[in-house]
Amino acid sequence: MKLLVSLCACLIAFLFPAASLQAQDNYPTRSVRMIMPFPAGSGTDVLARLIAEHLSRKWGQSVVVDNMSGAGGNIGGQTIARATPDGHTLLFVPAPPLVINPFIYKNPGYDPATFASISMVGSVPYVLVTRPNFPAASARELVNYARANPGKVTYASSSVGSTAHLAALQLEILTGVQMVHVPYRGAAPALIDVMNGHVDMVFDIVTTAKAMIEGDKVKAIATTAKTRASILPNVPTMDEGGVEGMYALTWFGLVGPPALPPALSERIYRDVDAVLKTPEVAARIAQLGINVDSLSPADATKFFAAERKQWGDIVKKRFGPTLE
């Protein structure tokens, strides 16, 4: 199927190069629909609307964010898979629909590897936090405690198969510890139960955990990027804390339907990149605690593939072909 889609895309570009270039020059000719497969008000939604607003100004056409929540983001993925590849329907998503869902659902209804990569827009690292009185102050101490108490340390997550869940699985695989998963419906209740001592730990994004960390409501153990988070400069990385090789990010990508002409993907990327570099947008993104990672279509394709391999390998090691 992937080969067929690629061949069709190449054939279209070969047979109709002039039409493709003309479409790029005239783009967009009408309103652009930006699918966001999660509810309004989420961090992803806020970023999508910020970018959509400024693209509307740049293009002189409205860019409408369409929240299509449900099935862990699969409804949005199914919609973009069927969309006409003319650039007037785009998908703005965090990691799961693009790199995790194919491994945790038996049939998500789409293959994200066939989507046209436009850009990876930004990223936010996770921070491992524990209940305030947890008997460990570093990543190494936490691992040692979990190893000495197999099956007793509990960890929360926003849902089964979420990046936070898989980050904890990654920690187990890297260190050989055994912990107990306590899934929640959303990141907020998971973090609150860690704060109240009902669960031992959770991987949460630094932007939402920051206030509780600074208020001593939870204890920050380590962040999950290769360098320290700018908004939590005093919290070491997992590498610095004694657990090397553990990296987990929540990130935001922009893709189009299969067979979207490469020239059009490049055009949209350049315009998104220009929006991200405007002082107003850059300042707002910094306030949100998001790192701008404006990757070109080619680099985004490589990044998405690497993320699919990383998380796919973790799911397969723990659950076999699919989690569900």
pLDDT at 41: 80
- What's the count of helices (H) and strands (E) in the chain, helices before strands? 13, 10
User: Which is nearest to 119 in space by CA: 212, 220, 51, 171?
Assistant: 51
What tokens appear for 101 in the block?
């869902």
pLDDT digits (tens, 9 = 90+) for 10-28: 555 555 454 444 556 789 9
CATH of 2-18+29-123+249-319, one of 3.40.50.300, 1.20.120.80, 1.10.3720.10, 3.40.190.150: 3.40.190.150
| Per-residue pLDDT, 208 | 87
* Same fold flag, 2-18+29-123+249-319 and 125-223: yes
Query: For residue 4, what pLDDT is reported?
Result: 53
Residues 61-110: pLDDT tens digits?
999 999 998 888 999 999 999 999 999 999 999 999 999 999 988 899 99
- DSSP-derived letter for residue 96 is I
Q: Helices (DSSP H) in 73-205: which residue ranges?
A: 74-82, 95, 101-104, 139-148, 163-175, 187-195
Q: What is the pLDDT of residue 6?
A: 53
Check: CB of residue 220 under 8 Å from CB of residue 209.
Answer: yes
Residue 19, pLDDT score: 43
Fold that domain 125-223 belongs to in CATH: D-Maltodextrin-Binding Protein; domain 2 (3.40.190)
Pick out the chain residues at pLDDT < 50: 3, 5, 16, 18-21
